[in-house]
Amino acid sequence: MHLLVSGIQHRVTGEVLVPNSKYHAHRALILASLADGESRVHGLSDARHVAYTVRLLRGLGVRITRAGDTFVVRGLGGRYRPGRAGVSAGSSGTTLYFMAGLACLSDREVSITGQRYFSRRPMGPLLRGLEQLGVAVEAAGDRPPVHVRPGRPTGGRVVMPGTLSQWISGLLLLAPFATGPTVIEVSGELNERTYLELTVAMMRRFGLEVAVSSDWRRFAVAPDQRARPTELTLPPDIGSAAFGIAAAALHPSDVLLRGLTRLEGGPADHPEFHFLDVVRGMGVPAEQDEAARGVRIRQDAPLLKAVDVDCREVPDMLPVLAVLGTFAHGESVFRNVAHTRLKESDRASAVLQLNAMGGDLALTGDLLRVNGVEGLTGARLSTYNDHRILMSLAVAASRARGRSALTFPHAYRISYPDFLSTMNAIGIPMTVEEGSARPARGIRRAPVRRARPEAGRPEAMARTTLPQWLARHAASRPGAPAVVDVTEDGPHVITWRELAERVERVAALLLRLGVRPREHVAYQLPNRTEFVVLSLAVLRIGAVCAPVMPFFRERELGFVLRRSAARVLVAMDGHRSRRPAEEALALAARQAPDTGPGPGPLRHLVVLARSGGTARLPRTSAGGVTVHDWRAALAATEVDRAALDAIRPTAGTAAQLLFTSGTTGEPKGVTQTSATLVSAVAMEAGQLGLGDRDSIWVPSPLAHQTGFLYGMVLALVLGAPQILQAEWNAERALASLNDHRATFVQAATPFLSDLVTAVEAGGEVPRHLRIFVATGATVPRALAERADRVLGAKVCGAFGTTETCLGALSAPGDAPARRWGTDGRALDGVRLRVTDDRGHVLPAGIEGNFELSSPTVFDGYLGRPDLTAEAFTPDGWYRTGDLAVIDASGFVRITGRVKDVINRGGEKIPVAEVEQLLFAHPRVADVAIVAMPDDRLGERACAFVVTRDGAPLSFAGLRGYLDAHQVAKQYWPERLEHLPALPRNPAGKVQKFLLRARARELRPHDEDAG
Active-site amino acid positions: 316
End-to-end CA distance of the chain: 45
Query: 970: annotated binding-site residue?
Result: no
Q: How far lies 65's CA from each of 362, 501, 989, in Å? A: 48, 73, 44
Query: 121: annotated binding-site residue?
Result: yes
Residue type, 911: V
286 backbone φψ class: left, alpha, beta (φ>0; ψ -120 to 50)? beta
Q: What counts of helices (H) and strands (E) characterise the chain?
A: 31, 53
Distance CA 27, CA 50 (A): 10
Number of alpha carbons in the 13 Å side-chain half-sphere of residue 356: 16
Strands 604-608 and 626-629: parallel
Query: 165: annotated binding-site residue?
Result: yes
Q: Are 443 and 465 in contact (CB under 8 A)?
A: no
Query: 528: annotated binding-site residue?
Result: no
SS3 letters for 353-402? HHHHHCCEEEEECCEEEEECCCCEECCEECCCCCHHHHHHHHHHHCCEEC
Q: Length of the chain in residues, anyone?
A: 1010
Q: Are 543 and 590 in contact (CB under 8 A)?
A: no
Q: Are 272 and 316 in contact (CB under 8 A)?
A: yes
Distance CA 962, CA 966 (A): 6
For 571, the enclosing helix (H) or strand (E) is strand 568-572
Q: How far lies 966's CA from each of 95, 113, 148, 962, in Å? A: 21, 15, 19, 6
DSSP code of residue 765: P
Query: 399: annotated binding-site residue?
Result: no
Number of alpha carbons in the 13 Å side-chain half-sphere of residue 370: 33
CA 902 to chain centroid, in Å, comes to: 29
Rg (CA), the chain: 33
824 backbone φψ class: left, alpha, beta (φ>0; ψ -120 to 50)? left
Query: 305: annotated binding-site residue?
Result: no
Contacts (Cβ under 8 Å, ≥6 apart) of 746? 700, 706, 710, 711, 714, 772, 773, 775, 798
Query: 22: annotated binding-site residue?
Result: yes
Distance CA 257, CA 36 (A): 37
Strands 403-406 and 430-433: unpaired
Query: 27: annotated binding-site residue?
Result: yes
Query: 316: annotated binding-site residue?
Result: yes
Distance CA 89, CA 518 (A): 62
Distance CA 159, CA 955 (A): 41
Distance CA 100, CA 110 (A): 10
Measured from the Cβ of residue 514, the count of other Cβ atoms closer than 10 Å reads 11
Distance CA 604, CA 566 (A): 9
Q: How far lies 275's CA from each of 19, 281, 298, 765, in Å? A: 16, 10, 18, 39
Q: How far lies 220's CA from each of 153, 156, 224, 612, in Å? A: 15, 10, 13, 80
Distance CA 785, CA 816 (A): 8
Question: Which residues on neighbouring strands pair with residue 932, listed in sequence order?
Answer: 940
Distance CA 501, CA 512 (A): 17
Distance CA 645, CA 805 (A): 30
Distance CA 676, CA 802 (A): 12
Distance CA 236, CA 244 (A): 13
Q: Which of 754, 753, 782, 761 is nearest to 113 (CA)?
A: 782
Q: Are 260 and 287 in contact (CB under 8 A)?
A: no
Query: 288: annotated binding-site residue?
Result: no
Q: Are 812 and 824 in contact (CB under 8 A)?
A: no
- Annotation: binding site for 3-phosphoshikimate: 22, 27, 165-166, 316, 343
Annotated binding residues, written as ranges, equal: 22, 27, 93, 121, 165-166, 316, 343, 347, 388
Annotated binding site for phosphoenolpyruvate: 22, 93, 121, 166, 347, 388
